[in-house]
Amino acid sequence: MKTSIVVFAKAPVAGFAKTRLIPALGASGAAALAARMLEHAVREAVAATLGPVELCVTPDSGHPALQAVAQTFGASIAAQGSGDLGARMHRAFVRHLQEYRQTLLLGCDAPALNAARLIEAADALKSQGPVFIPALDGGYALIGQRCADARLFAAMHWGHAAVMQDTRMRMRAAGIAWQELAAVADIDEPADLVHLPAGWLTPTSAHSPPA
């Protein structure tokens, strides 16, 4: 049973990627960390050897940094397209589940999502779906599905601390059985930097905000 993996990513452009980390790292430092997390996510997705890996990006799939990562690790690349996050995720699931039995979709914000965690999620999805890896900030870092269910995404309020809880409420109301695996840390805010693996912040990427 092949499992496709979709990695959602932004181009690691200063002032566009990881903007909430700019006060701690500066625009260029935040972009450098975004590039490192992007490379890590795609590398681990490929290393899981579950099936094809797609880098699904915004705003431009032709950005050199995105093209370079896809080429280096043998991933395909596609544009997320228009709409809110839910519409873009659902569209990706629809595309992939027309061809593959199951699909995992993740972002680039959680360094703890390594190949072993992806294999764990894919194995869990074989018995029951959807599958989530929650994020410690109240969202989720990974979702896996065997059928594309728009009810999980439509008209959702994204980017706040109750996304996972709101998703649970939707699934309970719809009678959907799901699985949750151990939560991981997203790296979104300066306080989250303590969850980075050792050595990920180089002296050049660190930045002290002006007094």
Nearest to 138 by CA among 107, 183, 176, 180: 183
Q: Residue 201 — pLDDT band, cuts 50, 70, 90?
A: confident
Q: What is the mean pLDDT of the chain?
A: 92
The CATH number fitting domain 3-189, selected from 3.40.50.300, 3.40.640.10, 3.40.1380.10, 3.90.550.10: 3.90.550.10
List strand residue ranges (DSSP E) for the chain, in order: 3-10, 53-58, 76-79, 102-106, 131-134, 140-145, 179-180
pTM of the shown model: 0.92
Q: What is the pLDDT of residue 43?
A: 97
For the chain, the domains span 3-189
pLDDT per position as a tens digit, 39-91: 999 999 999 999 999 999 988 888 899 999 999 999 999 999 999 999 999 99
Q: Residue 202 — pLDDT band, cuts 50, 70, 90?
A: low
pLDDT per position as a tens digit, 9-40: 999 999 988 999 999 999 999 999 999 999 99
More confident residue, 178 or 211: 178
Amino acid letter, 171 = M
- Any residues with CB less than 8 A from the CB of 15 and at least 6 apart, and which? 22, 27, 31
pLDDT per position as a tens digit, 98-124: 999 999 999 999 999 999 999 999 999
